[in-house]
Amino acid sequence: MCLHSRAGESKITESEYRTTKAGFAGEEKVIQFLVEARLSKETRIFRNVFIDGTQVDIVVVNPRFVCILEVKNMTGELFFSVHNKQFYRLNGEGKKEGMRNPELQLQRAVKVLQRRLHSKEVDVRVRGIIVLASRSGIVVEAPHLFPVIPIDALTDLLEKMESSSKELFNSEDLKIMRKLMKGNRVKVEDSQLFERLNLDGRKLRCGVRCTECFHIGMVRTYSTWLCERCGYRDKDAHLATLQEYQLLFGREISSKELKWWLGIEDRFLSLRILNHAHESYQFGPKNRVYILKFEPYRLERFLVSEMRKR
């Protein structure tokens, strides 16, 4: 919905949009569970990492394990067929639907990351888990190479992985791994979302959305935001617009990306906003990446109004 109203004339088919949106919502849910897990403080979570042309949804780098999470937000009965390596689901009407096999996707991702780490002389076994983000997805035939778990079991499994692991990576290896993930993170401009949707990031309509009439392009004036269409003032309007950002791109944002998204140029204003809107940040002071607070309620009114339109 956010994307529809921001994409202007660009064409997005309903099904493309739904698949992408579901994928992002699923990853978002997984991140929430990861935040709740009682893992070492040294744990880092990376999203949308591209390694040798292969996309990795989420990588958890813990001092005792490295694990790729393949997130699926699917409903219905799911079958990972062993014989022909096919994956399909039975939807609500009992119709069979073939889909890209998450097990093979994950196998590929694990292999690629493993190989890359070896080339950097980091001797670490990469693990993988398929996470079902929707409680209405039920596995009838399980995969063979990796565990598939419901999202509710994720925190427990990761905590167990940490406590039962016999490995403990040295700080040098950890540093190399983090640097690798960080360096291969997808930037906003060429995000995989745009790629999938055939959209150019720069064509998206940026700017703060009015929280009253939902028009995009509030103006900053006297420490508040003013809607030029309806005259509404809201000093927190940018916080809802940042929730839209999360829905489209995930929770990580740099100061540069924030300025682009909110349509502001003032560096000090952007830092002030980030100070309020972030929950934590990662990496050195030179290229800091902020993790936005997850506050979906800020978007509720807008989403409800969009849903009524459709």
Residue ranges in contact with Zn ion by CB under 5 A? 210, 212-213, 215, 227, 229-230, 232
Residue nearer to Zn ion on the CB measure, 59 or 242:
242
Q: Is 98 or 231 the residue whose CB approaches Zn ion more closely?
A: 231
Beta-sheet pairing, 289-292 with 252-253: antiparallel
Q: CB–CB of 40/62 below 8 Å?
A: yes
Residue nearer to Zn ion on the CB measure, 237 or 253: 237
Angle at 244 between CA 242 and CA 245, to 5 degrees: 60
SS3 169: coil
d(CA 32, CA 6): 26
- Judged by beta carbon, residue 156 or residue 228, the one nearer Zn ion is 228
Between 193 and 227, whose beta carbon lies closer to Zn ion? Answer: 227
Nearer to Zn ion, 203 or 229 (CB): 229
Nearer to Zn ion by C-beta: 80 or 225? 225
CB of 274 to Zn ion, least distance (A): 25
Task: Show Cβ contacts of residue 15 under 8 Å, excluding neighbours closer than 6 positions.
Answer: none
Quote the radius of gyration of the chain (alpha carbons, Å).
21
Single out the residue of 241, 256, 253 nearest to residue 290, CA to CA: 253
Contact yes or no for 99/79 (Cβ under 8 A): no
Name the minimum Å distance from CB 215 to Zn ion: 5
Question: Residue 310 CB, nearest distance to Zn ion (Å)?
Answer: 21
What does each C-alpha distance from 132 to 34, 94, 128, 295 come to in angstroms? 14, 20, 13, 23
d(CA 304, CA 98): 32
> How far is residue 108 CA from its own chain's centroid?
20
Asked if 244 and 2 count as a contact pair (C-beta separation under 8 A), the reply is yes
- CB of 242: closest distance to Zn ion in angstroms? 18
Indicate the residue among 212 and 295 with the shorter CB distance to Zn ion: 212
Shortest CB 228 distance to Zn ion, Å:
8
What's the CA gap between 191 and 212, in Å, rounded? Answer: 30
Residue 278 CB, nearest approach to Zn ion (Å): 26
In the complex, minimum distance from the CB of residue 212 to Zn ion, in angstroms, rounded to a whole number: 5
Distance in Å, CB of 234 to Zn ion, minimum = 9
